[in-house]
Chain A
Amino acid sequence: MEIKKGIAVSPGISIAKSLIIDSEDYRIPRRSIKPSQRMIEIQRVRNAFKTAIDELTEVQAGPENLEQGKIRDIFAVHLRFLRDRSLRKKITDLIHSESVTAEYAVSATLREIAQHFSKVKDTYISERATDIYDIERRLLKKLLGHKREDLEHINHEVVVVARELSPTQTAGFNKNFVKGIATDAGGRTSHTAIVARSLGIPAVVALEDFTESISAGDTIIIDGNRGIAIANPDAETIKQYQAYSQEFTQLEHKLVAIKEKPAVTRDGVKITMLGNIEFPGEAELVLEKGGEGIGLYRTEFLYLNRPNEPTEEEHYQAYAQTIRVFKHRPVIIRTLDLGADKYTQSKRFAPEPNPFLGLRSIRFCLQNLVMFKTQLHAIIRASVLGEIKIMFPLITNLQELMQAKMILRDVMEDLDEESVKYNRNIKIGIMIETPSAALTASTLARGVDFFSIGTNDLTQYTLAVDRGNELVSTLYSSADPAVLRLIRMVIQDAYKAQIDLSVCGEMASEPQYIMLLLGMGVRTISLATPMIPEIKQIVRSVTIEDCNNIARKILAMNSERQISTFLNDATRKILPEAF
């Protein structure tokens, strides 16, 4: 039995067999398999080679992206390696003789070759090792990609164990079978954590070297409430956790009762509670939990897990499916917010050195107009079906907003020409998630119908902290006075300009921030769907007067720690079971 403490990011308890997903970004640990499995692994290697060859052949055939002879040569060399029978044999021989996974055999063989090159004295030749690492990566991507696809067709319950999971991978999980998630890396606000929470899959992250010690099929317990992962638990521990699990389900049931009750404070102020969703399928869940609409519909999911960009019709169908659930309640669709992740980076020859400050989100869209217009066309076309609003992410200046709106107008003209009906007065809003947007909120407010404060990125950019980096993640806190002052500024500017305002970041899902947000003047929040009942209970237990007092006190405080402690104490008084 091995017990490991990490960070709890998605509540719930699960007990199931492990399914390990290695990552091409990290060294592949040696994992043994049963001798009877060897033929399966060998076949996986063959398939990976085949897909990689097909892919490279296709890249080679495309003339316009590759005018440069050098790049073409590099791919030609890679192709020769992939077609080299003796390389493939070396790999399959290793699986045969040592009973190891396909991933390990590929990685170990190619690394051995790369090391051979690195040892050559001639620098020109020794640098060729990088080509070999490239080939290794390509093959691992195929192997792991196939495995991820298999995961989508999984038909038994598992706990997914990985060094790190991208939001893409997590988004593809079938929650009927993926019962828990454990990762070595990550933090509370990493995208993977957010996706796990929205899917309602218990998850623990930042488990350091947990993956190293696990074999496929080991029994794993995930305690997403306390942030504990246990490998190969003894009978006693399993029994104990089965009991915890039951208790937790009972608490959930208690919160279900609150669903029908309105989100009104004790002194009668109505708070609008919306849900954040990723997939059209989640819309029902928002209703089930008592949400009154969608405050943040993330559309990245449409682009992930697939080789091509989605068509206009695919966009449209996804939006139509969601809006049909909500009829005349608001659904705020956020335009593509990709970047700083594998999707945009894999489309580049060289990754960006500083992707979070790079070509992401609206910037990516404004440079990929065909793609951007396809999405806008579908959103506008769907606007007749209900109360759809459109939201641009990561706006940092007025210029970007103007550009985005101009493109939107172009798309509307296209629709006019096509004689397609749409809502001409569709509401347009922006995410306020950079300090520059917060500081210029009064200007930006004149060009939009609403603001939505994205507290995660706002915190990250204000405090200059990568929320996914365990080394500095303790510095990441939305309770930091700098972040709170920016939020207050945005709220005040929205009021002055008389535009709608909501908060859609993690802050709105975390019990300790609710009173503060209400006290600062927030009346609409959009949050992780599973958290709606719990947050509603807080709303129903407070008065705006209390909240105002808390906000006043907090905004006079100068240290994050003081603020956090104060907020935790205040919340514990009204919702003891949340802590």
Chain B
Amino acid sequence: MRAGEITLETTVCELEVSIKNADGLHMRPAMQFVDIANQYPCDIVVSNNETRVDGKSIMQMSMLAATYGTKLKIRAKGMDAQKAVQALRELVEEKHFDEPTPEERKKNQY
């Protein structure tokens, strides 16, 4: 990003997150992800090592098939990019889609 281009529309924000819940990014988490992504006007692109997909498309997000521990790069461009990326990070890494991590699951078993 070159200086001088930083206007409201072209704000770019990028962040790497890793999947913390045991079952990975299956359908329901993918749904939560796109629901949050769609609340923001900016474009959101999510990528793993091989593929880049639209973070607002449940089809594309679920096809990433990100399992536990997978690292995903979230890149937002446009209005509220910063907020969008933060909200998505919170969903993936802190709330981990309201699902247990492998440790939590183990604990519950004993």
User: What is the interface of chain A, defined by CB distance below 8 A to chain B?
Assistant: 73-74, 76-77, 80-81, 84-87, 90, 113, 116-117, 120-122, 124-125, 128, 131
Contacts and interface: CB of A to CB of B under 8 A. Distances in A.
B63 A117 contact: yes
A432 to B, nearest CB: 50
B67 A122 contact: yes
B44 interface: no
B59 interface: yes
Interface string B21-55: 00111111011001100000000000000000010
Nearest to B26: A125
B53 to A, nearest CB: 9
Given A113-B63, A120-B65, A125-B65, A84 B57 contact: yes
Contacts of B65: 116-117, 120, 122, 125
A84 B26 contact: no
A124 B23 contact: yes
Contact of A81 (B23, B28, B59, B67): B59
B34 A80 contact: yes
Given A120-B65, A122-B67, A77 B27 contact: yes
A79 to B, nearest CB: 9
A90 B26 CA distance: 21
Contacts of A120: 65, 67
Contacts of A85: 57
Interface of B: 23-28, 30-31, 34-35, 54, 57-60, 62-63, 65, 67
A407 to B, nearest CB: 43
Contacts of B31: 73, 76-77, 80
Contacts of B54: 86
Contacts of B63: 113, 116-117
Counting chain A CB atoms within 10 Å of each CB, which of B24, B60, B62 scores highest?
B62
B62 A86 contact: no
Contacts of B28: 73, 76-77
Counting chain A CB atoms within 10 Å of each CB, which of B31, B58, B67 scores highest?
B58
Contacts of A86: 54, 57, 59-60
Nearest to A73: B28
B62 to A, nearest CB: 7
A73 B25 CA distance: 15
Q: Which 3 A-B pairs have the closest CB atoms?
A: A80-B58, A120-B65, A86-B57
Contacts of A113: 59, 63
A77 B67 contact: no
Contacts of B62: 117, 128
B8 to A, nearest CB: 25
B47 to A, nearest CB: 15
B24 A124 contact: yes
20 contacts: A73-B31, A76-B28, A77-B28, A77-B31, A80-B31, A81-B59, A84-B59, A86-B54, A86-B57, A113-B63, A116-B63, A117-B62, A120-B65, A122-B67, A124-B26, A125-B23, A125-B25, A125-B26, A125-B65, A125-B67
Nearest to B57: A86
A70 B75 CA distance: 31
Nearest to A119: B65
Nearest to B63: A116
A74 B26 CA distance: 11
A34 to B, nearest CB: 29
